[in-house]
Amino acid sequence: MKEKAEEILRSWKGENYAFGTDAVGKVGKLASRFGRRALLVTNGSGWLSPWLEEVSCSLREEGLELSGPIRGSRPNTPKDDVYRIALAVSKAEPDCIIAIGGGSVIDAAKAASVLASYEVSEVEPYFGTGEVTKASGGKPTIPVVAVQTASGSGAHLTKYANVTDPATGIKKLIVDELITPPAAAFDYRVTLSAPRDLTLDGAMDGIAHCWEVYTGAAGKCYYEEAEEVARLGMELIVRNLPEAVREPGNLDARIGLGLGTDLGGYAIMISKLNPETGEVESAGTGAGHLGSYQLTRYLPHGRACAVLNPYYTVLFGEATERQARVLGEILQKAGFVEGVDLMKLEGRRLAEVVADGMMRFSKSIGFPTTLKEAGVPPEQVEVMAEASKDPQVRMKLKNMPVPLDVEDVDRFIRPTLRAAYEGDFGLVPELRR
């Protein structure tokens, strides 16, 4: 299983991605192709200190001149952190940015690169799909060499940058090929000393990437590719997360988690030309991620997705039977679905059984399974529903297994969020393709 995951990642990224158990020492070689001056951006967590020094040594050995380190981003990439880093980049005028950290640090570096490259002061115009390319005038951004330190976001491999407005607590998304790191490294050994909660939230974010892409691939030309990647990614995470929690120093389990969450990054980057329509169809996350963007004040991102996705699994159950059976089988092997023959179930009943298995998996690692249990105030449900109507997140509605539009939010999204608050599948409305 791990060998297949490695094969997929190598086929996808080639020499632009160093991963495994000896990747840290390759950062210098990866970065040297972009010039001689590098600016370090990192969160400086104590548990990362030995690895930061190893990255710096690798860069110096290749003759790079280092400036920084600049303090990275807080969780969820607050907008003011992006501005602070962009100012530092503008002053340093580096040939490349070395972003060392988890998804928030890497996303901040991506967004800061845009602002510094185009000498602009506001990030807001770049939210949405393709806005960086539209504004670039053909000018590239300052390259970000992404050194991932946490299994989860896939930020080191993707075209996405999440940025949160501290005033509202709402997260928005830059989606553009121009911000995909041209080189990345992830040494899975780094995660051996990762805090427990970081491990848990990252793993659940990885599952959400796989699951939301897989269910959203129904009827798309890339369905078979999404199924292969998502199935493998979810199984690696479900199989290895409990072991990594029981025995944090288990390198084999950490490698499994790293590969599984990297496949989640692959999943959200799938893009393929539909020969029948002549249009490019691109994968992306859907309902779980959409709702998580308004929960930054209450829950870590992976945890928010883990709470919401079972309820959306029920909502889209009629359209995702095949996907539900695949995830159901993975959860059944791991002991989280019991006493049922999945092949004899269909539609909403199948979805409810699988959703219950997802919740049992969450409970096994100490995660809440309702918004109420998570301490989210009831009025936040209305905030989440209204935010789902924002044109800048319309892509998330379109990525859902049954594509929705703004006028569908009150009929389907709002009651499903209420169900997630109360923990009652019975409140999830019927939705048929």
276 lies in some domain: yes
Q: Are 414 and 265 in the same domain? A: yes
* Burial group, residue 122, by CB count within 10 angstroms (0-12, 13-18, 19+): exposed
CA distances, 338 to each of 101, 352, 370 (Å) = 39, 13, 22
- Give me the pLDDT at residue 433, please: 59
* Burial group, residue 236, by CB count within 10 angstroms (0-12, 13-18, 19+): buried
The amino acid occupying position 202 is G
Q: Are 79 and 212 in the same domain? A: no
Helix residue ranges per DSSP H, 247-320: 251-267, 287-292, 301-315
Find all residues with CB under 8 Å of 275, minimum gap 6, and list them: 221
Whole-angstrom distance, CA of residue 346 vs CA of residue 420: 22
Which residue, 161, 189, 217, sits at the end of a domain?
189
433 lies in some domain: no
Q: Are 39 and 134 in the same domain? A: yes
Q: Are 23 and 99 in the same domain? A: yes
- Give me the pLDDT at residue 395, please: 85
Which residue, 126, 156, 189, sits at the end of a domain?
189
Whole-angstrom distance, CA of residue 220 vs CA of residue 171: 27
Whole-angstrom distance, CA of residue 162 vs CA of residue 171: 6
CATH number (domain holding residue 136): 3.40.50.1970
Total domains in the chain come to: 2
Whole-angstrom distance, CA of residue 182 vs CA of residue 331: 35
**DSSP β-bridge partners for residue 99:** 41, 146
151 lies in some domain: yes
**Token pair for 383:** 């905030």
432 lies in some domain: no
Longest dimension (CA), the chain: 63
Q: Are 184 and 208 in the same domain? A: no
250 lies in some domain: yes
3-state helix, strand, coil in the chain (%, to 5): 55, 15, 30
116 lies in some domain: yes
Q: Are 238 and 181 in the same domain? A: no
Q: Are 230 and 147 in the same domain? A: no
CATH number (domain holding residue 411): 1.20.1090.10
Q: Are 414 and 277 in the same domain? A: yes
Q: Other CB atoms closer than 10 Å to residue 246's CB: what's the count?
A: 9
Instruction: Residue 263: give the domain boundaries.
Output: 196-427
Q: Are 370 and 278 in the same domain? A: yes
Whole-angstrom distance, CA of residue 62 vs CA of residue 177: 28
Q: Are 40 and 167 in the same domain? A: yes
Which residue, 166, 189, 212, sits at the end of a domain?
189
| Stretch (H or E) spanning 207 | helix 196-216
48 lies in some domain: yes
Say if residues 289 and 396 touch (Cβ distance below 8 Å).
yes
* Burial group, residue 433, by CB count within 10 angstroms (0-12, 13-18, 19+): exposed
- Give me the pLDDT at residue 43, please: 84
Q: Are 217 and 110 in the same domain? A: no
DSSP 8-state secondary structure symbol assigned to residue 78: B
Q: Are 62 and 93 in the same domain? A: yes
372 lies in some domain: yes
Whole-angstrom distance, CA of residue 414 vs CA of residue 165: 23
Whole-angstrom distance, CA of residue 320 vs CA of residue 344: 15
**Would you give per-residue pLDDT tens digits along the chain (433 residues)?**
999 999 999 999 999 999 999 999 999 999 999 999 999 999 877 878 889 999 999 999 999 999 989 999 999 999 999 999 999 999 999 999 999 999 999 999 999 999 999 999 899 999 999 999 999 999 999 999 999 999 999 999 999 999 999 988 889 999 999 999 999 999 999 999 999 999 999 999 999 999 999 999 999 999 999 999 999 999 999 999 999 999 999 999 999 999 999 999 999 999 999 999 999 999 999 999 999 999 999 999 999 999 999 999 999 999 999 999 999 999 999 999 999 999 999 999 999 999 999 999 999 999 999 999 999 999 999 999 999 998 888 888 999 999 999 999 999 999 999 999 999 999 999 987 5
Q: Is 71 helix (H, G, I), strand (E, B) or coil?
A: strand
- Give me the pLDDT at residue 192, please: 95
